[in-house]
Structure 1
Amino acid sequence: MTNRRSFLTGAALIGAGMATRAGAASLPEAPQQSGAATAPPLLPPNGRPYNPVVTLNGWSLPWRMKDGVKEFHLVAEPVERELAPGMTARLWGYNGQSPGPTIEVVEGDRVRIFVTNKLPEHTSMHWHGQILPCGMDGVTGLTQPGIQPGKTFVYEFVAKHAGTFMYHPHADEMTQMAMGMMGFWVTHPKDPAQHAVDRDFVFLLNAYDIEPGSYKPKTNTMLDFNLWTFNSRAFPGIDPMVARKGDRVRIRAGNLTMTNHPIHLHGHTFEVTGTDGGWVRPSARWPEVTTDIAVGQMRAIEFIADNPGDWAFHCHKSHHTMNAMGHNVPNLIGVDHSGVAEKINRLVPDYMVMGDKGGSMGGMQMPLPENTLPMMTGEGPFGGIEMGGMFTTVKVREGLARNDYKDPGWYKHPPGTLAREWTGELPAAPRAPGAPAAAPSPSPAPDNPHHNHVMEVKRGGSHQH
């Protein structure tokens, strides 16, 4: 696996030396990356300057310059992607990963992208949101024939407009996009000072339906997905977005799932400053803490990271911050399960009573099939975070270096700023005149996690709420 330092060095060398090594070849090289760590920004080794982005749990694709044209090479191929430690998915993607690498160019650049197909069926490449010649739009059967297995097509156009875009096939979309074929594209402004920020993060929203114990997504699923991810990573496998106090931060998220996602940031207000149609005029912006990203859309948000801490950043659909979701669970809060566990355990030894006091599973560890993520996991400084899926943190710290993206660890709260247990006296609860006295509290349940919840046997046989 490539580490961050070696990747940054290697990527720069590839970009700088590709023309020399591949000058006699008809195709530029197709760099590969299989690791799932967030790579540092790829500083442009040639061409016009720009402020590079950071792809969350991803990387940017190096290029070669040939006769004034930026040449990239994407290879569509089967890949393996670690969704989080403990689970690997067998997907389709580009250059060793799903999503594929981010492509970064400058407004006005002429770009030439070679797309080689190593899949078992034909494919194509659509440059989502780009204004370009019709014959470069990549819709199989309409604007081009499909790229057959083993063949390479070349797309060439001028990146006319600065903004944020995506790429994905327009060929057997239901299968190919469900298998993870997608990537991010950023066209930077000609003037690096225009729309400049201190930290610029990008990622795609994607979803998969992978049965517990299996490795491949079900490609005919329409809405009932069970894994919701940022850049094909599920929490706690998603890296934090690290910012220095006072930085202007941009986060660009593109949605290629089958539903909308209300993305919510804690601790700050932001403005939506861009869509996949372009930049939003300052007069048209307003403050938000949540923005809804519909299917096929991109939203760029910006804020000043002026509030130090570890701030949650997540989809506000609660079932999208869980892994391996089951959907046919009755509400069993308040249901008396006395004796149930003992009887059922005679038939199902692993049965655990859950759900009669709520949905939290605390620190319970249940047997799961191979290659299956727990529904809610991830440990914070105060215990289980009880999140999965589309969840990460924005970590704001004082004193970081300009290009320092390393995880700074957990936030140390200044004295007097941390919520704490109240141990003083509680006032008596007021009662309406004539109301009967409160009944005595029932005896507490035994301190046994097996009495706190109810189990659902999930699709495929694992335990799931």
Structure 2
Amino acid sequence: MFSRRQLLGAGAALVSTSAWGKTSNMGLPDAAVMETAATQPPLRPSSGPDYQPVVTLNGWTLPHRMNNGVKEFHLVAEPVEREMAEGMTAYLWGYNGQSTGPTIEAVEGDRVRIFVTNRLPEHTTIHWHGMILPSGMDGVGGLSQPHIPPGKTFVYEFDLIKSGTFMYHPHSDEMVQMAMGMMGMFIVHPKDPAFMRVDRDFLIMLNAFDIDPGSYVPRIMTMTDFNLWCWNSRLFPDIDPLVVSRNDRVRVRVGNLTMTNHPIHMHGYDFEVTCTDGGWVRPEARWPEVSIDIPVGAMRAYEFDAVHLGDWAIHCHKSHHTMNAMGHDVPTFIGVDKTNVARKIRKLQPEYMPMGTAGMADMGEMEMELPDNTVPMMTGWGPHGPIEMGGMFSVVKVREGIASNDYSDPGWYENPPGTQAYEWTGELPDFARAADRS
């Protein structure tokens, strides 16, 4: 039914789909599709003002075509399969083959025309969250426009009158469609290429799902008791790192479409908050942080100079949000001797393993049997053992000499002698005594 061609060269996963032959869709721009959960290289501007393109962690940027001075994009709302982590796939709703949907990038002053094709089993719309535009383009079904029926394509067209970081999501059956993963980011770059310029620009969408172990489809009626906390519908240890070169000026944009706030904390640095949903923060109004709380339905962007080499954790500071698929009704067994009861249980279930008596750290090393399509509660290994994290967690990797267009994982950082915590064995090692003499 669909013809596919490579857009980004051999081995790339971004392909173009021309639907329904040469009939009603002949005038539509290609609907590019992403078939992998890996971070894709940024799309450099090919016309108009220059800008530093964003890098969407475990995501991608939607290509556009120019038509008489208008930038045209094609979004397809459809059921998708998303690899949330190795060994776990979710059946979600999204855009152009993925949840979250592709990032849209344009420039302040551009006129955009966005074709939205609905391949869902129910009607939908798209709301352009935070953008200033005509009421009829705002995307609230029944209020500002008719709902988009299944099989139909609607057109949104408006001018981008301000730069900043925005989001998109449905305003049709919103509770279901957002709970199923329908959301994405819309970046409008300043028309002045020198304004707020950075060397690396990363994009994270905070989202959450309630998916029972062994199952594939989110429970859409959940209000607060989610069990999978994601960045761009991805879980640690399979969230890609933020790779930067030493002395780069780095921006991290974080949007939140979950049902709770998230205090995002980055190790090794302080930073300044430079942008909110409302626009850029004037230099005299910026404030320093090491953690920034991202409210529900909001965006915050912060910047720092990458002067400290190393592997630096970045994560939500709500401790349950750095865990995967955990049950919230598990009793606490710390300090409880379960030896006798474990012996009795093993008579019925020989594989039974008692856990929790001394905390849950053993979960990071165990490889206990799990239901199919289930990711461990905490997993991931670093150079010194289990990292014991999951969910909303990644690593900022600062290295010397990273090329400007290189975002590949440089591997683990090797701490220079004298810069790593060590075991006390009764006397100071040579490097510590040498430091004392200096």
Q: Is 2:61 the counterpart of 1:60?
A: yes
Aligned to 2:413: 411
Residues 13, 34 of structure 2: 8 Å contact kept: no
SS of match in other structure, 1:339: helix
Which structure has the larger Rg over C-alpha atoms? 1
Aligned to 2:343: 342
Mean alpha-carbon deviation: is it higher for 234-243 or for 352-361?
352-361
TM-score (norm 1): 0.87
SS of match in other structure, 2:250: strand
Cα 1:272–1:38 shift into 2, 3 Å: same
- Counting only pairs closer than 5 Å after superposition, residues 51-90 of structure 1 correspond to structure 2 as 51-90=52-91
- Counting only pairs closer than 5 Å after superposition, residues 383-394 of structure 1 correspond to structure 2 as 383-394=385-396
1:197 Cα deviation after fit: 0.3
Q: Deviations over 1:399-434 (max 9, x none)?
A: 1112211100000111110111111179xxxxxxxx
Q: What runs of 5+ residues in structure 1 fail to find an aligned partner?
A: 15-20, 427-465
2:222 maps to amino acid: T
Q: Is 2:377 the counterpart of 1:375?
A: yes
Q: Is 2:296 the counterpart of 1:291?
A: no
**Distance across 2 between alignment mates of 1:243 and 1:388:** 22
1:260 maps to amino acid: N
Aligned to 1:196: 197
Aligned to 2:19: none
Residues 4, 40 of structure 1: 8 Å contact kept: no
SS of match in other structure, 1:207: strand
SS of match in other structure, 1:310: strand
Residues 256, 296 of structure 2: 8 Å contact kept: yes
- Counting only pairs closer than 5 Å after superposition, residues 184-223 of structure 1 correspond to structure 2 as 184-223=185-224
Mean alpha-carbon deviation: is it higher for 325-334 or for 127-136?
325-334
Dislocated runs of 4+, deviation >3 Å: 1-11
Cα 1:258–1:3 shift into 2, 3 Å: farther
Residues 2, 33 of structure 1: 8 Å contact kept: no
**Distance across 1 between alignment mates of 2:272 and 2:386:** 31
Q: 1:422 aligns with which of 407, 421, 424?
A: 424
**Distance across 2 between alignment mates of 1:185 and 1:8:** 26
2:122 maps to amino acid: E
**Distance across 2 between alignment mates of 1:46 and 1:142:** 36
Cα 1:311–1:281 shift into 2, 3 Å: same
2:260 maps to amino acid: T
Aligned to 1:6: 9
2:340 maps to amino acid: G
Residues 8, 42 of structure 1: 8 Å contact kept: no
Q: Is 2:406 the counterpart of 1:398?
A: no
- Counting only pairs closer than 5 Å after superposition, residues 17-416 of structure 1 correspond to structure 2 as 25-361=26-362, 362-416=364-418
Residues 8, 39 of structure 1: 8 Å contact kept: no
Residues 123, 169 of structure 1: 8 Å contact kept: yes
1:339 maps to amino acid: N
1:195 Cα deviation after fit: 0.4
Q: What runs of 5+ residues in structure 2 fail to find an aligned partner?
A: 17-21, 429-438
Q: What percentage of residue pairs aligned between the two structures are identical?
A: 68
Structure with the largest fraction of strand: 2
2:190 maps to amino acid: P
Q: Deviations over 1:376-405 (max 9, x none)?
A: 000000010000000000000011112211
SS of match in other structure, 1:346: helix
SS of match in other structure, 1:122: coil
1:314 Cα deviation after fit: 0.2
TM-score (norm 2): 0.92
**Distance across 1 between alignment mates of 2:351 and 2:361:** 19
Q: CA RMSD in A?
A: 2.1
Residues 2, 34 of structure 1: 8 Å contact kept: no
Count of residue pairs brought into register by the alignment? 418
Residues 139, 171 of structure 1: 8 Å contact kept: yes
1:203 Cα deviation after fit: 1.8
Cα 1:7–1:33 shift into 2, 3 Å: farther
**Distance across 1 between alignment mates of 2:219 and 2:282:** 41
**Distance across 2 between alignment mates of 1:188 and 1:97:** 24
**Distance across 1 between alignment mates of 2:66 and 2:311:** 41
